[in-house]
Amino acid sequence: MAKISEYDRFGEEGLSKEEYAKRQDYVLKSCKCAGCPTFVKGDNPAGAYCFPLIGTSEAIRREKDCICETCPIYEEYELTHTFYCTRCSQLCQTYKMELGGGHE
Ligand code: SF4
Ligand code: SF4
């Protein structure tokens, strides 16, 4: 089984509580979800679904399109998945793939 640090694109492992909150805030500020056709206004959390521990959306029920690939966070942290709002965070989706037998 791979270590979390190998998949931890946001480098959150080892961050202090304060640093973690700061990084989460940074991701939320750059997040493009509010302009996405899938997004539901008033959702809580209001984006940054790619970030670990933010959680999936409580309001989004239907996947329409995902614009994560156009987001600066996506590029900066070299993310690889989409539909974080419904399918869970980058780390979580990577783990699911790994546990789902997608590795050699
Ligand atoms: S990659 Fe997607 S979920 Fe993450 S901050 Fe950007 S738009 Fe939001
Ligand atoms: S995670 Fe993707 S699909 Fe979901 S609201 Fe954000 S941009 Fe849209």
Where do the domains of the chain lie? 12-99
pTM for the full predicted model: 0.91
Which residues, including other chains, have CB under 8 Å from residue 14's CB and lie 6 or more apart? none
Question: How much is the pLDDT for 44?
Answer: 87
pLDDT tens track for 60-95: 999 999 999 999 999 999 999 999 999 999 999 999
Nearest ligand to the CA of 35 is: 2
Q: Is 30 in the pocket of ligand 2 (CB under 6 A)?
A: no
Mean pLDDT of the chain: 91
Range name among 2-16, 25-39, 64-78, 86-100 with the lowest pLDDT average: 2-16
State the CB neighbour count (10 A cutoff) for residue 104.
3
State the closest ligand 1 atom to the C-alpha of 49, by its place in the atom list counted from 1. 3
Q: Give the pocket of ligand 1 (CB within 6 Å).
A: 27, 31-33, 47-50, 68, 71, 73-74, 79, 84
DSSP string, 49-91: TTSTTT---SS--------GGGSHHHHHTT-----HHHH--HH
- pLDDT of residue 7 exceeding 90, the answer is no
